[in-house]
Amino acid sequence: MSLDPITADDRHALVVAARAVAESGLVVGASGNLSVRRGERVLVTPRRAKLGAIDPEDCVEVALADGSVADDHPTDSEPTSEAALHRAVYAATDARAVVHTHSHFATVLGTLVDELPAIHYGLTAFGGPVRVVPFAIFGSDELAASVGAAFEGRRGVLLANHGAVVAADTIDGAVDLALQLEWLCSVAYHATVAGSPKLLSADDLDRTVQQSRALRYSLTEPS
C-alpha cells in the first residue's frame, strides 16, 4: 500500500495541467494524456477525454506495478490507453509527472530523424539529444517498453509517427518541458528546411550545463 496517497490536490493539479496543455495547442481533439506519481500509485487522465474538459473525479488512480484501477475509483471512466507508457517512464526514472502529446513539430521531426539534433542549448534540459522511439502501436506493451528504455539519462523522447513524451519532478515542470521540446522541434525543422544548420558539440552542451549550475538556472541534466 502506498505511503504517499493520491489526493484531491493531485487531481486538481492534473486537471489544471491538462487544460494548459490543451490551451497551448500541443494536442488536438482527444489526443494526449498526463499523469502524476505518488509512491506506488499513478493518477492518469481518462481515456477518450479532451484535455481541456476533464472532471477531476474522472482521472483514474492505477497501481504502478500492474496498472490495476483503484477499488474506490468514483466514476466509470477508464485510464488512458497509454497508462502502460506512463508506468514505464516512472519505472525507468525518478520522475513524478509525465506529459504525452501529439504536438505538431514533435510529430513531424519524429518522421524525419532518429535523434533530435543539438540545434540549441535548451536541449540540455532533456539530458542531451532527444531519442526517437521506433513506431509501435499506441497503447501497446511494445511502445511502453521502448519508451522506458529511451528515457535512460533523458527527460524526453520523441515517438516516431506519433508525438512526444516528457517527464519531470512536477506536473507544471512537465508541461514546461513539453512546450520546450515542441519549440526545439520547430527550430530544428525550420533550420533544416532553410539549409544545413550548425549544431552544438557535446562539449558545448557540457559547458552549458556547467554554466547553468553555476548561475543556478533550471537547465540541468536529469538526476
Q: Determine the average pLDDT of the residues in 29-48.
A: 97
Note the pLDDT of residue 23: 97
Q: What is the pLDDT of residue 1?
A: 40
Q: Do residues 141 and 90 lie in contact, with contact meaning Cβ atoms separated by under 8 Å?
A: no
Give me the catalytic one of 23, 82, 142, 152: 82
Beta strand extents in the chain (DSSP E only): 33-38, 41-44, 60-63, 97-101, 132-133, 156-159, 163-168
Total-model pTM: 0.93
Is 115 considered catalytic here?
A: no
- pLDDT by residue (tens digit) across 132-186? 999 999 999 999 999 999 999 999 999 999 999 999 999 999 999 999 999 999 9
CA–CA gap between residue 139 and residue 126 (Å, rounded): 24
In angstroms, rounded to a whole number, what is the distance separating the alpha carbons of residues 196 and 80?
Answer: 40
- Assess whether pLDDT exceeds 50 at residue 220: no
Q: Give residue 223's pLDDT.
A: 34
Asked if residues 61 and 14 have their Cβ atoms less than 8 Å apart, the reply is: no
Where are the extended beta strands (E) located within 39-79?
Answer: 41-44, 60-63
Contact (Cβ atoms closer than 8 angstroms) between residue 83 and residue 42? yes
User: How many CB atoms are closer than 10 A to CB 195?
Assistant: 7
User: What are the structural domains, with CATH classification, of the chain?
Assistant: 8-214 (3.40.225.10)
* Rounded-to-integer distance, Cα 106 and Cα 189, Å: 9
Mean pLDDT of the chain: 94
Round to whole Å and give the CA distance between 143 and 133. 8
Q: Is the pLDDT of residue 4 over 90?
A: no
pLDDT tens, residue by residue, 204-218: 999 988 998 888 776
Q: At 120, which amino acid appears?
A: H
